[in-house]
Amino acid sequence: MFWYVVTKTSEIAYYFGPWILLVATALWALRARSWPSYCGLLAGTLVAGAKFAHMTATEVRSIGLGGLQPLVDQNPVVYFFYMHGMSFGMFLLAIALAAQYARRGSVA
């Protein structure tokens, strides 16, 4: 029973977490109107865009030419969100929260 609850909770977080993060960062940006909140909004957009790309893009392939690059027939924007949106978004969110904490002494 415990592992069933953990698994279902993880699935809910996987599917709805990015969208909740986007809404939360949008509300933060509307309320605070500061550069950390706008950085957080960009982060939430990147994470939600990555989730949307994972849900809609059937297959994303890359070729290693000094770094992973999309194939010629693929959209580079979709490729960016699919491959890098989640990690860049989380990194930007960490920067935004750290900057907010450094500015005010608290995140709230």
pLDDT digits (tens, 9 = 90+) for 30-84: 998 989 899 999 999 999 988 888 888 777 776 666 666 667 677 777 778 888 8
Residue range of the domain that includes 16 = 2-104
| DSSP-assigned letter for residue 59 | -
Residue 87 pLDDT class (50, 70, 90 cuts): confident
Residue 19 pLDDT class (50, 70, 90 cuts): very high
Q: For the stretch 65-87, what's the b/e string if a residue is b when 16 or more beta carbons lie within 10 angstroms of its beta carbon?
A: eeeeebeeebeeebbbbbbebbe
Rounded CA gap, 35 and 106, in Å? 15
Rounded CA gap, 72 and 97, in Å? 37
When divided into structural domains, the chain yields a total of: 1
Q: What is the pLDDT at residue 77?
A: 79
Contact assessment for residue 82 and residue 50, using Cβ atoms and an 8 Å cutoff: yes
Q: Note the pTM of the prediction, 2 decimals.
A: 0.77
